[in-house]
Chains A and B, each alone.
Chain A
Amino acid sequence: NAGVTQTPKFRVLKTGQSMTLLCAQDMNHEYMYWYRQDPGMGLRLIHYSVGEGTTAKGEVPDGYNVSRLKKQNFLLGLESAAPSQTSVYFCASTKIGYNEKLFFGSGTQLSVL
């Protein structure tokens, strides 16, 4: 059972480039989340989804877009990367009624030069 899988694990971008981070979960969870982790700032919610075809903004959504076309996948897009988006990105998922227990992927380290 793979759980939550994130790809890629590492990526280096130049300012202005675009990319998509993929999150896949095999636990049939309804809820999925994208967080970013920065030193001294903890985990901050970017966007989340409560079901296939639905997305919502979190605390820090600017500069990011998301899509949830399939229940098991949640994509995070950066249309025009900025150095301020250098961070470690984590995807998480959980099932309805267990929102407090999140299952996290192992993260994507993104550097924007």
Chain B
Amino acid sequence: QQQVKQSPQSLIVQKGGISIINCAYENTAFDYFPWYQQFPGKGPALLIAIRPDVSEKKEGRFTISFNKSAKQFSLHIMDSQPGDSATYFCAASMLFKNTDKLIFGTGTRLQVFP
């Protein structure tokens, strides 16, 4: 029940295209849904996040869409660029033993070709 399922495992997109990564969760106690971006040889870094009281959040070319009833959320990268090539992790956070517990998805490797 604490899993976060992420798909696809890998994604190849042409420059200028739209990249879409999907995540699903079961536990309704999750109350915060961040996305992390990881470049090769680096640690993950927070990219964008959403709370379940809104259905969409946009920051530049990155948009999170959130469907509370379906318990699904997705990351959309508009006008994808080669510099967006990285591994993306969705995550979900819930309060556990007086601290927030972050559960990560399994990751999506995105490759954007010129």
Q: Do A and B come from one complex?
A: yes
Residues of A within 8 A of B (CB): 4, 31, 40-45, 48, 50, 56, 90, 92, 99-102, 104-107
B44, A104: Cβ atoms closer than 8 Å: yes
Q: A35: nearest residue on chain B (CB-CB)?
A: B104
A95 → chain B closest CB, angstroms: 12
CA distance A61 to B75 in the complex (A): 31
For chain B, give the interface size range.
20 to 34
B32, A104: Cβ atoms closer than 8 Å: no
Residues of B within 8 A of A (CB): 6, 9, 32, 34, 36, 41-46, 49, 89, 93, 97, 99-102, 104-107
B106, A40: Cβ atoms closer than 8 Å: yes
Looking at chain B's contact residues, is the secondary structure mostly helix, strand, loop, or mixed?
Answer: strand
By a CB distance below 8 angstroms, the chain A residues around B9 are 40
By a CB distance below 8 angstroms, the chain B residues around A106 are 41-43
A68 → chain B closest CB, angstroms: 14
A100, B93: Cβ atoms closer than 8 Å: yes
Given A40-B106, A102-B46, A104-B43, A50:B99 Cβ within 8 A: yes
Q: A90: nearest residue on chain B (CB-CB)?
A: B43
Given A43-B44, A104-B45, A99:B89 Cβ within 8 A: no
CA distance A1 to B80 in the complex (A): 31
By a CB distance below 8 angstroms, the chain B residues around A31 are 99
A99, B100: Cβ atoms closer than 8 Å: yes
By a CB distance below 8 angstroms, the chain A residues around B99 are 31, 48, 50, 99
B41, A42: Cβ atoms closer than 8 Å: no
Given A101-B46, A104-B45, A107-B43, A42:B104 Cβ within 8 A: yes
